[in-house]
Structure formats: structure tokens, C-alpha cells
Structure 1
Amino acid sequence: MKKSYLFLLILVILFLSACQSSEQLKPIKEETIDFNINTAIEMVEKKEKMIIDLALREKVSKLEYKELEKSFTEEFGVHAKDILSILFIHNMDSDPESDMYVQQNTLYPTVFHKGITITNAVIYKSYFENEFFNQTRLSIEEKYVGDDEKLKDWKREYIFTPKKNGEWELNGFSGVMNFLGEDYNMNYLELKR
């Protein structure tokens, strides 16, 4: 009986301490700062230029793929493998030294496609009592503003965090990354001139 009371007491203490810690994690101040939209466009264009250049190809050699892995890792960090997995057909039965084929039935919307535009760029800052928890992130939102019903309401958000040198590092995405299927390809939307 004493063990069950002791267990219950420990459980109550843990519950109360968890409630207290969630109160401590509420920011004491939050700030929203408009980010230069032209700089945001340049940041996204740099990343998406790599994607569109690759997606418009039919295949790459194994050596080219290794180089692509390096350059995509420099630009996309830990998300490089995710992007490459969207763009390539991974055939487990093929010869390891054979060419890698680019996925033809996918649309990865980019700012280089008509109807795709950067609509918002904002820095969010949260300040906490304990400075260790302070956060800064840059959100760049990209949307489809055209008339195609299949792409209506499409949007993607790039989330960046500051590096120590003052530059921004890609931290993640939200929204729909790509469209897959027989109806889609990288020319589904016309490219801007």
C-alpha cells in the first residue's frame, strides 16, 4: 500500500512540475519583422534554380549524382537527400554504377514557373526569461496565384534560422513540396522568360 502512495505522490509531483515548466516556456516577448522581399526572392531562386536545372534533365551519371549530392548538401543542408529523393527514380534492381534517371512525373513548383510567386517574408523572434530558449526564424512563403484548379491553394514555406556569421540557413519546409503522378511534370506550368 505504501508503494502505491509513493508512486502516486511521485506522479503528482511530476505532473505539477510539468505544468510549471510549460508556463516557463511561454515567451515574454514576440516580434515580427518584415524581411526584404527581394532578398527573400534571391534566396529562394538560388535553391530552386538548382532544382529546376536538375528536374529538366532526363538522367545523370553516377559521378554527376555524387557531385549533385555535394552541391545540394551545401545549399539544402540535411534536407538535400529529401529533395534528391523527390527528383530521382530509385531503382533497387539497377546496376549501382548505372545512370540515375530523373523522375519525369513530378512537378516541383518553383519561382521560375508562371503563377508561382513569393508572397511573404517575415522574421519571427521569441524572447524567453531564460535566454537559452530565445528563437529567431525567417519564414519565406511561396504560393500559386494562377488559375489552375489542381494547384489552387498550393503553398510552400521555407524556414530559415540565423547562422553565427549572420547568414540564413535552411531549417525546414512546410506545405506541399511537389505533385506526383501521370498528370504532372516540370513543364506542367509554363516557365517564366
Structure 2
Amino acid sequence: MRPVTHLDAYRPTDDLSGVPGPPLPVLGDGWHARAADPDTRDLDLVHRWMQAPHVVAFWHQAWPRERWEEELRRQVSGRHSLPVLVSRGDDDPVIYLEVYRAARDVVARVYPARPHDLGLHVAVGELGMTDQGLVRRLLPVLTEALFDGDPRCTRVLLEPDVRNRRAIASFTAGGFEPVGEVLLPDKVALLMVRTR
């Protein structure tokens, strides 16, 4: 495993109390993002996508609907992560994202997170929508929107499972560079970063 050693680190003395929750990205180029609302059919959509075998294989969150309701409520009311549904044009959502503050996440144990660094978890919910270049096309627009949404953010990261070659290829094509492998509680991940 190649450790991540060459990134400027967050110092444990840095105060995170003034760091807001992750911003909702305001997308352009025909993309639209909104926070997932557990009081609408968003809950059923996210729950269904998380049961799909191609998502389960790497997310490991095929939870009951009730647990997903709790999870979405926890995220929208906190400052750690934000659940987001992304659509193209006026169509139904095609991508589920979690935008999170890396310094408040488990990844901070193995990654030198700065207070305003943002991380992403990305899932294409419908199997039939995979391998169409959605993530590759979305990522440049999304990362620019995140940098615009938090002017103090200088890095956005992804941490796909090293076995998820499809995701790694999409993330690379979308402008992210691999910086090393890290051991997280549920996977060996390839840490990938895009800088401002």
C-alpha cells in the first residue's frame, strides 16, 4: 500500500467549529443538484438504488428503508455530509452523491485533511445508466461548483475501493489524480484528489 505522505496536512490544533457543513453545489452545463429530502419520494429512490447489486458491491449499505430515512435525516441536519440527487436537464435524478467535510470524516485518520477540504461519494443508481460517461462529464462541473460554493476549499477528494476499476477510470477522466492507497474500515481505497 502506498501511503499518502506528500499532501499538506490539517493540524489537530485547527478549530473546525467555524467550518460550515458542505455546500449544496449549484451546477451548470445542464446539470441540476438538490439535497435529498427524506420526506419525499427521494427516500424511496435512494433506498432502491442502495439495494442494487452494482451499488451494494462497493457501498455496502443495503439497509432497510427505515435506516435510510434515519441516515438522510442525520445528514441533512448535520455539518458532516450532505446527501444530493443530481439530474441532467429536466429528467429524473441519475446520480446520488454525498458531499462531506473530509476533516470530520473517518478518512481524516489516513488523509491529511485541511478544515475546508470536501469529499465525495458517488453512485449511479440505475445499472442501465452506468458506462455512459455521466460521472466523467459531471465531475469537472461538480468540483468547480464546490470550489465556488466554498472559496476556502482547496481540495476535493474521492476514495473509491481499489477494486472498483470502473469508478477509478471515471474519476480519472473527470480530472482527479490518484495520490496513494489508504486503509479505511470497510475497504482499501485509492485516494484521488482534485485541487483548486
TMscore range, shorter length: under 0.3
Q: TM-score, normalised by structure 1?
A: 0.27
The structure whose residues are more often helix, as a share, is 1
Q: TM-score, normalization: structure 2?
A: 0.27
